[in-house]
């Protein structure tokens, strides 16, 4: 399986899609984000109501879009990315 990835605002975003065979929407979308300093997040799933998709390509594209949104929230609003340490401002 080929995973999509991109660089957005100096953050590397990788689609982290998991397969759950046997259900009508077997692809669980999620992403992993690597910050410019090299810290990597844990796998961040999409919100439950959007997490499962019927085909791999859609799941990967949704994962990257979600990752870009999370980077925007991180940089513009101080959201901490799961699994990374966010230094506290003094």
CA 24 vs CA 6, 28, 48: distances in Å? 28, 12, 15
Q: Give which of 33, 38, 43 is closest to 67, Cα–Cα.
A: 33
Does any domain span residue 36?
Answer: yes
Mean per-residue pLDDT of the chain: 90
CA distance 90 to 71: 22
* 90 belongs to a structural domain: no
Query: Would you say residue 30 lies in a domain?
Result: yes
**pLDDT per 10-residue tile (average), the chain, 90 residues:** 88 96 94 95 93 94 97 94 56
**Domain at 53, CATH number:** 3.30.160.350
3-state secondary structure of 42: coil
Tell whether 85 is covered by a domain. Answer: no
Range of the domain at 15: 5-77
Provide φ and ψ at 20, rounded to 5°: -125, 85
Considering its fold, how many domains does the chain have in total? 1
């Amino acid at each position: 399986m080929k995973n999509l990835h991109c660089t957005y605002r100096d953050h590397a975003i990788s689609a982290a899609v998991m397969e759950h065979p046997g259900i009508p929407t077997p692809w669980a979308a999620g992403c992993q984000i690597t910050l410019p300093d090299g810290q990597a997040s844990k796998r961040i799933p999409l919100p439950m109501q959007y997490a499962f998709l019927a085909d791999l390509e859609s799941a990967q594209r949704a994962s990257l879009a979600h990752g870009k949104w999370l980077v925007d929230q991180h940089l513009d609003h101080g959201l901490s990315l799961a699994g990374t340490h966010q230094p506290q401002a003094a």
